[in-house]
Chain A
Amino acid sequence: MTTDNDRLLLNAYIDGELDPAHALEFERRLGESPALAAERARIEALRGAMRERLPRETASSELRRRVTALARPRPSVARWGSGWGSNWGSMAASIAVAFVAGSVATFVAVGPGAREPVPELLVASHMRGLMASQPIDVVSSDRHTVKPWFNGKLPQSPRVVDLASQGFPLVGGRIDVIGLTPAPTLVYRARQHVISLTALPAAQRAGGTIRPVDGYNVVEWTDGELAYWAVSDLAAPELENFAKAFRAGDAEP
């Protein structure tokens, strides 16, 4: 029989929300209590089923257009009467085009070149990837396709690790320009979330500490000559799991 408190702890343990000391203590209790272990299996089964079976919800292109139009460049609302009435939808498409053009120009204007710190540049690339209709240049879940694609284009190619069995399927890769350096970026997924993993020449050793940058989590670690940076809106413990899995992963077949 499990108590209410045990259930709260169990859920927090599964979600990676217990601090290391409590997590260790709880693992010991899990080992001793078949009831708790069974409850854990049920919760993990539920999480797995939700992850695999629930369809990914995406905003329709029509909704995306309407929302984009909210931030339209010309403040000519008055002309359309009292605001967001029925007739502005028909104008949304042309406005969206103007707006996208505008935002591209903005991006170039504020983009790389200035001495912006690397994490901010990486987050900007990640965001640009999320906003693009196609966030990746080479679409493949097969690392034997993705790695050669980089080989042909960049002097150094990153480790490409297959993490599908750990809940992080590879979706492809792209080349980001960070400052003035073209850098290979692998794109992984974790449920609905995108992880951008960029390899840069290592400037200093980094041990994988996670930190928030502009609302995203960023974690950096070094491996030989390269620094790997993972950027995602995943919760910090999950991004840490990803980093751990990638570092432990076998890059060779």
Chain B
Amino acid sequence: MDREDSRTRFTNVVMPHLDDAYGLARWVTGNRADAEDVVQEACMRAFRGIAGFSGGNARAWVLAIVRNAAYDWMRRNRAPTVVHVDDLEAIEHMQTPEDATSAVETPEAALIARADEARLEAAIAGLPTVFRETLVLRDVQGLDYREIATITGVPIGTVMSRLARARGRVIATLGAET
């Protein structure tokens, strides 16, 4: 594939998903400046790897690259304690106070519905990274389970349990604040 082909493909495959790419990077890294660095790095990787894109789901392909770039970026730039990438097993099974609360307390749906932007942001930002990205891919970016499984590199069953837990925790957090 010559450079002209790569350029055309990059424009057709990557550029339409730039907002989604930025949105995911923003939610994973937690801030806008870092997200821009991550997206730029991811786009360089995508451009170099564009010949390897075999057709199919362009958005999932782009977002998978963005996710990997974001995780690499955090490994390089953040203290290890902040990165919830390792020790996934522990995170999947970790019982937080929120989990315990949600089992007994059942906040009114109306209370959840009233949550304003700042509280929503904070509740989602407080999730471990793997839960947060799953929730964002589903409820902000509207991907289906199969696409999320592809992007995050886990089986669909894991997507399901992460999503259920992410939603449960956010609901518990929002319910506990008032």
Contacts and interface: CB of A to CB of B under 8 A. Distances in A.
Nearest to B112: A45
Contact of B142 (A67, A70, A190): A190
Contacts of B47: 70-71
Given A7-B164, A46-B167, A190-B142, A60 B36 contact: yes
A174 interface: no
Contacts of B174: 46
Given A49-B120, A57-B22, A42 B15 contact: no
Nearest to A124: B12
A212 interface: yes
27 contacts: A11-B160, A38-B106, A42-B107, A42-B171, A43-B171, A45-B109, A46-B174, A50-B120, A50-B139, A53-B120, A59-B19, A59-B21, A67-B43, A70-B10, A70-B43, A75-B3, A84-B40, A84-B44, A102-B7, A103-B11, A106-B8, A131-B11, A131-B15, A215-B56, A233-B17, A234-B142, A238-B142
Given A8-B164, A53-B115, 15 more contacts: A35-B106, A50-B139, A57-B140, A59-B39, A62-B36, A67-B18, A70-B47, A71-B10, A71-B11, A106-B8, A192-B23, A192-B140, A193-B142, A235-B142, A235-B147
Interface of B: 3-4, 6-8, 10-23, 26-27, 36, 39-40, 43-44, 47, 55-61, 106-107, 109-110, 112-117, 120-121, 124, 138-145, 147, 160-161, 163-164, 167-168, 170-171, 174
Interface of A: 4, 7-8, 10-12, 15, 17, 35, 38-39, 41-51, 53-60, 62-64, 66-68, 70-73, 75, 84, 99, 102-103, 106, 127, 130-131, 190-193, 212, 214-215, 233-238
